[in-house]
Amino acid sequence: MSQSGATDTTTQVISRRGRAKDRLEEVAAEHPDVPRLVILKTDVQRRGVHYTGSALRLLDPSLHQVTGTPIPGSRDGRLRPCPESLLMRDGSSILTAPTPLEEDPYWVDGIEGRLWLRDGGDPIEEVEYWPRPDYYGRLTAKGVDYRHIASARPQGLHISLGPARLDPEDVAEVVGDALREPGRFSALVIIAGSDPRGPEPFDREVDHCIEILRAIGRNFQNPAFPSQLNGSAYSRRQLERLHARTGLMSYTADLEVLDPGLFQRLRPDKARWVDYDEWKRRLVEAVAVFGRGRVGTGILAGMELGGPHGYATEEEALGRNLDQAEWLAERGVTTVFSLWKPPSGSFQGNASLDFLIQLAKGFHRIRRSHGLTVEYGDYRRGGNHPDLDLDRLQN
């Protein structure tokens, strides 16, 4: 059983957690058409996790993915070897982060050699740590640690191009080596960062993506290979250049919030270069280049509820999100959500679980009604979007 010491604070947290469990059960009862596992995954992402001592003793860096520093969105800010994330028995992932006990996280506990999620009482679901890729610990010919170039999910290889500029030869080498591990990866995701420099804004970013993707492409038999670029909102000319010169098969540019006023206020760094309406127009243009179901945008669900300018109610936010997602879907663009995690100590709390489940159902219904899928970023290839888990019953 758990080796974590119970303190007065812990006791208080446990008493609150009892109410939180009711919320999960309430939401599950309210939405019998949504699998309980998806609701649980959403709630764990929402509330975060606390790894008990016995859970951490089951962490084996020779078998599991370990993060030495808090991953983006981590809410406890402590430096220590930490599990990267969790796998569930339906094959989906929970991308989650260690969270202080005061914020009422789920507990990941080690019980008789197995890992379980707990919510203040009995174990409620068995989970696993993410498996470690074979390439961990290797260096490129130029001496760069592979982990500075690529990060792994259970089936996805993610390469982040910003803020450091990566050497295409290093990237090609890492990808080539990663592909030697049988069955390990079924998705390649390039995160472009945001570099507005160039004769036309983002030309420099597009140039860098092209050189990286062309280098990666040398590892594949066919000119096109399953891949996703998560980048800025590019012009038609830039999109056509990307498509013509690389093997890229899908493109996403995240609006993060589906409202022009909130986009301006919450993402001024993006809005400065491409305003909300132009961003949407560029997404639609990208469908003409990459095809229906090959272009998407992401939002950070819950961010639109914060601050003095956010929506007053979750109902209002839901209506607006679905309305905008419908507009995009009519034009062949998909919308997915990740959970926005308020920083520790923030006055803004998490979005409610019911709001997130309604949003997941809404996005799923919209995609289905327009015959759209997001196969390049589904439960297996991405894993971070509860709404995409629901697409697993639809092919």
Q: What residues make contact with other proteins under the rule CB under 8 A?
A: 35-38, 63, 87, 89-91, 128, 130-131, 154-155, 181-184, 380, 392-395
Sheet of strand 295-301, all strands in order from the earlier edge strand to the far edge:
150-152, 156-160, 187-191, 228-230, 251-252, 295-301, 334-339
Closer by beta carbon to other proteins, 136 or else 311: 136
CB of 91 to other proteins, least distance (A): 4
Closer by beta carbon to other proteins, 11 or else 395: 395
CB of 40 to other proteins, least distance (A): 11
Furthest C-alpha separation in the chain: 62
Closer by beta carbon to other proteins, 87 or else 253: 87
Closer by beta carbon to other proteins, 6 or else 63: 63
Closer by beta carbon to other proteins, 32 or else 72: 32
DSSP string, 116-134: EEESSSSEEEEEEEPBPPT
Rg from Cα positions in the chain: 21
Closer by beta carbon to other proteins, 185 or else 340: 185
CB of 255 to other proteins, least distance (A): 29
CB of 364 to other proteins, least distance (A): 13
CB of 394 to other proteins, least distance (A): 8
| 194, 162 Cβ separation under 8 angstroms | yes
CB of 90 to other proteins, least distance (A): 5
Whose tokens are 């606390």? That residue is 50
Helices (H), the chain: 8-30, 36-47, 53-57, 168-178, 203-217, 236-245, 260-266, 268-271, 276-290, 314-330, 353-369, 386-389
Tell me how far apart the alpha carbons of residues 90 and 37 are, in angstroms, rounded to a whole number: 8
User: What token pair was written down for 117?
Assistant: 């999620």
User: What token pair was written down for 18?
Assistant: 């009892």
Based on the number of CB atoms within 10 Å of its own CB, is 62 exposed (0-12), middle (13-18) or buried (19 or more)? exposed
Tell me how far apart the alpha carbons of residues 110 and 25 are, in angstroms, rounded to a whole number: 24
Closer by beta carbon to other proteins, 157 or else 286: 157
CB of 302 to other proteins, least distance (A): 25
